[in-house]
Amino acid sequence: MGNNARKVWPYMMKLNNVFLKLNLPNVLLLTFIVSLIIMIIVGCEQNPKTQNDGKTNESNITEISQMHDDAPANLENEPAELFAYEYDYENEGIRITSYSGTKIRVKIPDTIESIPVVSIGIKCFTVGEVVEIYCPETLRVFEWGGMKSEKFTEINKITIPYGVTKIAAETFKDCGSLKEVKIPSTVREIGMNAFRNCGSLKNVTLPDSVTKINDKAFIWCRALETIMIPYSITEIGSYALVGCSSLMNISVDDGNTVYADIDGVLSDKSKTTLIQFPGGREGAYSIPNGVTKIGTEAFAYCNMLTNVTVPNSVTKINDRAFIDCSSLTGINVDQGNAVYSDIDGVLFTKDETILMQFPQGNEMDTYEIPSTVREIGANAFRNCGSLTDVTLPDSVTKINDNAFVGCSSLSGGTKKRILQINPNASFK
């Protein structure tokens, strides 16, 4: 069976079933099928992009999610084109799972079998020659994620249709060319990793309808310069803005009842928990007095941060608060702090029994741990690549597994001593 015949055959079978159910005359059925065959074969022959020696073309989408009203006037859903969709049923309507048509510009139907189309599934347009997609107003869940086609990552502009209430997890993950996204006022939730690693995305405007930003929603958006948290948001997941190395300000609407900002630094409403320091800021930073808690990865990957001063009000520093700050040379603690201290910019507990963080930007190649230390915290020396020798006193009885991860330059003698205390220690 030829290529064109293979394309026609599924349509014939589906049409046959339709005509049988409708009890239409056989002559009418035959006439319709012959006309359809001619139409499809001619269309396939006139579209050289479908002739590729049996190889499947990767998706070439450059712009998606425009509304039906934006579609060209002559772009309609032909009867045969409706059979190019595979779909399943959800509680609220149809979820399209794949498209096998030959159109370059696709206008997704409002309904299939008189049921509204509410969702476009993962990998729906992974292959083919589609360059533009026009979405129906019935769409409620934007779930485009998971398209690993190289061409999909070249999308540079996205207009999410009005009516969509959720941008699903990983929807635009790794879309490195994405520069502009328009989010409508119907969206209430942004899924986990929804915009992860969108390295060209500079600005995002979140409408007042959004109430939840899930974990890692904008992680590694390295071009993102500013973001405004509207009054409506009541939940921001972990690491939502970590690794945004151009981010200068995280502003929060004054009407927000859960979050606030301290001069562009994200905090809780009471301004006692520092949640996220903007990753693009450089130089030294003094945490305001009154802050009592530094959140997990609050300063992580802030590679232009050189020094942090911790006030006497801070009573809790969460794990990984200062990891991978490659330019950080010192963490200085106010002498009046009752919980923490520092020795030459190295962070300790107040009694100096736990070494919590050796600044990654400290370029010394040897370091002698004080004899008061009993424990070396997780990630304490993480990625301190310049260290070649660390002297551990006999007082040290506990080394957490990841304390020296990434310390590839350590001498064999130092590694041996560490492994004697913790056989599971990693240096890679």
Tell me the mean pLDDT in the region 9-32: 55
Summarize pLDDT for 97-137 with one digit per residue, the tens.
888 877 777 788 889 888 999 887 766 766 556 656 777 88
Q: What percent of the chain is modeled with pLDDT above 90?
A: 56
Query: What average pLDDT does range 180-187 have in this prediction?
Result: 91
Residue 140: the pLDDT is: 84
Task: Report the half-sphere exposure of 203 (CA within 13 A, side-chain side).
Answer: 4
pLDDT, tens digit, 9 for 90 and up, residues 336-358: 999 999 999 999 999 999 999 99
Statement: residue 309 has pLDDT above 80:
yes
Q: Give rounded-to-5 percent helix, strand, coil for the chain.
A: 15, 25, 60
Q: What angle do CA 16, 10, 8 make, to 5 degrees?
A: 100
Residues above pLDDT 70, as percent of the chain: 75
Q: Report residue 5: phi and psi, to 5°.
A: -65, -40
Which residue, among 198, 76, 71, 94, has the nearest Cα to 141 in the 3D structure?
Answer: 94
Cα gap 9→13, rounded to integer Å: 6
Least confident of 17-21, 185-189, 216-220: 17-21
Mean pLDDT for the chain overall: 83
Q: Does pLDDT of 7 surpass 70?
A: no
CA distances from 138 to 77, 191, 292 (A): 16, 20, 47
Given a cut of 90, whether residue 192 has pLDDT beyond it is yes
Q: What is the pLDDT at residue 99?
A: 82
pLDDT score, position 178:
85
Tokens of 18: 């339709």
Q: What is the pLDDT of residue 412?
A: 93
Measured over all CA atoms, what is the biggest interatomic distance in the chain, rounded to whole angstroms? 97
Q: In the structure, what pLDDT confidence band is assigned to residue 187 with cuts at 50, 70 and 90? A: very high
pLDDT for position 58: 42
pTM of the model: 0.77
**If pLDDT is split at 50, 70 and 90, which confidence band does 144 have?**
low
- Per-residue tokens: 205: 């405007």
pLDDT digits (tens, 9 = 90+) for 27-37: 555 665 655 55
List, for residues 55-93, the tens digit of each pLDDT value. 333 444 544 444 555 555 555 555 556 678 888 987 789
Alpha carbon distance 221, 246 (integer Å): 8
**pLDDT number for residue 59:** 43
363: pLDDT strictly greater than 60 = yes
Which range has highest mean pLDDT (4-18, 60-74, 144-158, 249-263)?
249-263
Q: What is the pLDDT of residue 205?
A: 92
Kind and range of the H or E element at 344?
Answer: none
Instruction: Report whether 289 contacts 311 (CB < 8 A).
Output: yes
- Specify the higher pLDDT residue, 21 or 285: 285
